[in-house]
């Protein structure tokens, strides 16, 4: 229907459509609004129904949909995608064509094959904001081939808040953040996302995922309500390198019953789970006021071994010869802190004698472990000295 194409990326082509109803003459055919090489697309109170693609925009700036309705389209809103090198920043600046600044505000999506397909850009530019909108699939009239509501790929800076998602069909995903577009093409990953204050409702069928973090770095999911029937997955963390955070969300078992068994599925490695009702999962180490509260440190073996008490609370020492050595007074102690030394005899025979720094107060002489054995000893800091609190009584 409407076709607006400029001659160069992000040129000064500004398009506004308002108070319209666009209806395809043949269901599932055509594109209602197509824009490329532009600097502004603004749709206000526009209803778009029964097209192959409702709105398709790329190689430009600022797409803003406000109070629009997109119903029974194969794809509702599609933005981004790859293009030729160059772009508005000029060649040589690694600025390939992009689709930047997408806002979906107070819109209604229903019975679309895919509500939003954000394909990002060659250089994963951003950002995208989806807020105060509704996404719905009927309980008795499933959309053929539908498995996803919102797909976000290859984006930097995503915000998704105040939305409602409701579906009555099995094996759907409400929100996907990853590195594949809807056509199966590999893209870059997503970087930086805030998903909060949304309501996700799946009252019956199984296999539904609320938020699927397939490939995303630094996403935060918090303050949402997931009300799912049993057999679904409110949050799936499939990315084991992305370092995402799941904060406190409300997990309900439909209808309106508190608690949900296993609300977070798949790998939690490299992610943080911060919810007092769930087992806490943190990153590689826990730091409090700049100090590592739980970590393993390896101390280099030498004639004089130094310890930074702020770097870890468990220190391994591998002794490789029979020479005597000194474990010096730890640096950066704080009162109440505890540390453990794991002393391993890798000398191939008897190891050398240990001299402890002046601040160590031992209950008695420390017995050296035999060859290929180890012993541990632990201390707490009283503010002036490191006091022994435990040791192994035999070789390990």
Looking up residue 262, the CATH number of its domain turns out to be 2.160.20
What pLDDT does residue 354 have?
A: 96
3-state secondary structure 175-195: EEEECECCCCCECCCEEEEEE
- Note whether 226 and 193 are same-domain residues: yes
The CA-atom distances, in angstroms, between 78 and each of 8, 34, 263 are: 20, 10, 30
Cβ 324 vs Cβ 354: under 8 Å: yes
236 occurs within a structural domain: yes
What pLDDT does residue 267 have?
A: 65
What pLDDT does residue 180 have?
A: 87
303 occurs within a structural domain: yes
Last residue within a domain, chosen from 261, 284, 307: 284
- Note whether 69 and 158 are same-domain residues: yes
What pLDDT does residue 362 have?
A: 96
114 occurs within a structural domain: yes
- Note whether 187 and 109 are same-domain residues: yes
Mean pLDDT by 10 residues, the chain (396 residues): 84 91 92 91 97 91 94 93 53 54 95 89 72 94 92 90 94 93 85 96 90 93 95 88 86 87 76 73 57 77 93 92 96 91 96 96 95 96 95 95
- Note whether 176 and 315 are same-domain residues: no
Q: Domain range holding 200?
A: 2-284
What pLDDT does residue 32 have?
A: 97
What pLDDT does residue 94 have?
A: 47
74 occurs within a structural domain: yes
d(CA 127, CA 212): 19
- Note whether 12 and 95 are same-domain residues: yes
380 occurs within a structural domain: yes
396 occurs within a structural domain: no
What pLDDT does residue 321 have?
A: 95
Last residue within a domain, chosen from 269, 284, 299: 284
182 occurs within a structural domain: yes
Region class of 30: left (phi > 0), else alpha (psi between -120 and 50), else beta: left
DSSP string of 76-97, one letter each residue: EEEE-----S--TT-TTS----
d(CA 153, CA 178): 5
SS3 (DSSP) at 381: strand
Q: Is the pTM of this model over 0.85?
A: no
- Quote the tokens at residue 119: 């394909």
Last residue within a domain, chosen from 249, 284, 319: 284
Residue (of 70, 76, 34) closest to 52 by Cα position: 76
Number of domains in the chain: 2
d(CA 349, CA 101): 67
DSSP string of 305-321, one letter each residue: E--BTTT-SEEEEEE-S
What pLDDT does residue 93 have?
A: 45
222 occurs within a structural domain: yes
Alpha carbons within 13 angstroms on the beta-carbon side of residue 296 total 4
């Amino acid at each position: 229907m409407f076709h607006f194409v400029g001659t160069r990326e992000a040129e000064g082509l500004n398009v506004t459509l308002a108070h319209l109803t666009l209806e395809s003459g043949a269901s599932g055919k055509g594109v209602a609004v197509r824009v490329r090489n532009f600097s502004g697309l603004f749709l206000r109170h526009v209803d778009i129904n029964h097209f192959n693609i409702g709105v398709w925009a790329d190689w430009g700036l600022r797409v803003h949909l406000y109070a629009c309705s997109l119903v029974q389209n194969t794809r509702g809103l599609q933005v981004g995608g790859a293009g030729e090198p160059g772009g508005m920043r000029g060649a040589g600046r690694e600025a390939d064509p992009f689709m930047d600044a997408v806002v979906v505000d107070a819109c209604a999506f229903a019975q679309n094959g895919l509500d939003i397909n954000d394909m990002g850009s060659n250089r994963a530019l951003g950002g995208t904001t989806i807020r105060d909108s509704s996404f719905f699939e009927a309980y008795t009239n499933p959309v053929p081939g539908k498995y996803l509501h919102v797909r976000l790929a290859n984006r930097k800076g995503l915000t998704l808040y105040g939305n409602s998602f409701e579906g009555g069909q099995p094996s759907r995903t409400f929100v996907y953040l990853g590195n594949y577009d809807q056509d199966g093409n590999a893209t870059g990953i997503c970087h930086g996302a805030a998903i909060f204050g949304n309501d996700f409702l799946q009252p019956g069928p199984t296999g539904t995922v609320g938020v699927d973090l397939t490939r995303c770095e630094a996403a935060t999911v918090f303050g949402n309500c997931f009300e799912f029937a049993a057999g679904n997955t409110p949050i799936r963390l499939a990315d084991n390198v992305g370092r995402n955070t799941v904060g406190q969300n409300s997990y309900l078992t439909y209808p309106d019953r508190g608690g949900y068994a296993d609300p977070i599925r798949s790998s939690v490695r490299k992610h943080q789970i911060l919810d007092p009702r769930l087992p806490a999962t943190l990153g590689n180490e826990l730091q409090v006021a700049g100090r590592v509260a739980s970590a393993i440190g390896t101390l280099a073996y030498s004639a004089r071994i130094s310890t930074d008490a702020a770097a870890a609370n468990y220190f391994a020492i591998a002794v490789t010869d029979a020479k005597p050595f000194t474990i010096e007074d730890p640096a950066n102690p704080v009162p109440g802190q505890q540390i453990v030394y794991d002393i391993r005899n890798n000398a191939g025979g008897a190891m050398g004698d240990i001299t402890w720094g002046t601040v160590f107060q031992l209950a008695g002489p420390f017995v050296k472990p035999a060859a290929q054995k180890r012993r541990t000893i632990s201390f707490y800091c009283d503010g002036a000295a490191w006091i022994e609190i435990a040791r192994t009584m035999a070789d390990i």
